[in-house]
Structure 1
């Protein structure tokens, strides 16, 4: 009488026939002919060879190997944000494994890399202006008088000599009435650069000095 082992190794698959791992099938206690109770989604074939970066899939006849990027960190070429890969297969053409350096870069298919945006310098300046915060009326006017020897009246006079129309009205009202100054205000930035002829470094130096008043 032939003696059968109580269990045999079988390959366990998922719903898409991807190899999950090895498990065992038990000998059928009701049969006496070596019949085993193969668990659901399991097959009695040789275990596939493990290949880094691939997952084995049963075709019904043999194992085929599919690229598997699940768990990898990839990035959207459009936004630079992290994209989750949930299914095996080749990476979508819309993602890359290279992280975007910063918001001033965009993906270039021609270079196959992130390249700096054409308006990166302008965007950096805009963000720098925005992040500078605000200064109180006393801080701003006092620093301008200390640095440029221009009090409120002199600032208004400078505006009237260089500007006209609605632009003059806006900046004059800003100087006379606003309670907080912001470099993110385009009218104020233009006044500092075009009327007072301050360059970017001078403006931010003046701004930082004013913070401590």
Structure 2
């Protein structure tokens, strides 16, 4: 029996060792009787048909790499060294690739832009969900729509000489509220808006 070594048609990568009856010959397609090299971590062996030698080829298959331009991740499905546009280094949220250092570096401009947008979004959220509590212990919505409604209700009450008005509180209960308390809720809301808008 003779030993032969079968390799892949496409990649020339070692596939398996076979024992063949010498009477049938050993000149089978995509096989060689040349013994492969010792296994090497991080590499596979491919047969060079020109030089008739086994060669170590870097093997990163199934590893996760990241695009240096988009930071998108993908699984390596090819043999050999990593493509120039790929890296095994994991990027952080605000990183960009530096060819000089061959590493990810934090992009201060991108980070600041993101934080600015976040702050604006937080302020919008705070303004839209604003509530205030009057000295009477009642909780009022203080968003823009609520403030406009308060102004209208106060003006109407004063024109009609009313001292109170039915008002839907933040918990959706309807309660008779004095004109002075409504004015207090409006003043507190305006004050709170100022604090949110000017807060860095």
TM class, shorter-length: 0.5 to 0.7
Output the TM-score relative to the length of structure 1: 0.55
Contact 2:126 2:196 in 1 (8 A): no
Q: Does 1:18 align with 2:9?
A: no
Change (3 A) 1:107 1:39: same
| Runs of 5+ unmatched residues, structure 2 | 152-192
* Residue 125 of structure 1: how far off its partner (Å): 3.7
How many pairs are equivalent?
Answer: 148
Q: Supply the distance in 1 between the matched residues of 2:133 and 2:89 (Cα, whole angstroms).
A: 46
Q: Which segments of 5 or more consecutive residues in structure 1 lack a partner in the other structure?
A: 1-6, 29-34, 157-191, 201-213
Distance in 1, matches of 2:59 and 2:36, equals 18
Q: CA deviation at 1:100?
A: 0.7
Alignment check: 8 A CA contact 1:70 1:85 kept? yes
TM-score by length of 2: 0.58
Structure 1 residue 113, shift from structure 2 partner: 1.5
Q: For residue 105 of structure 2, what is the aligned residue in structure 1?
A: 115
- Residues 25-44 of structure 1: CA deviation (Å, up to 9, x unaligned): 2344xxxxxx4355542211
Assess if the C-alpha contact under 8 Å between 2:95 and 2:104 holds in 1: yes
> What is the RMSD computed on CA atoms of the aligned residues?
3.8
Query: What's the CA shift for 1:197?
Result: 4.4
Question: How far apart, CA to CA, are the structure 1 residues paired with 2:66 and 2:22?
Answer: 49
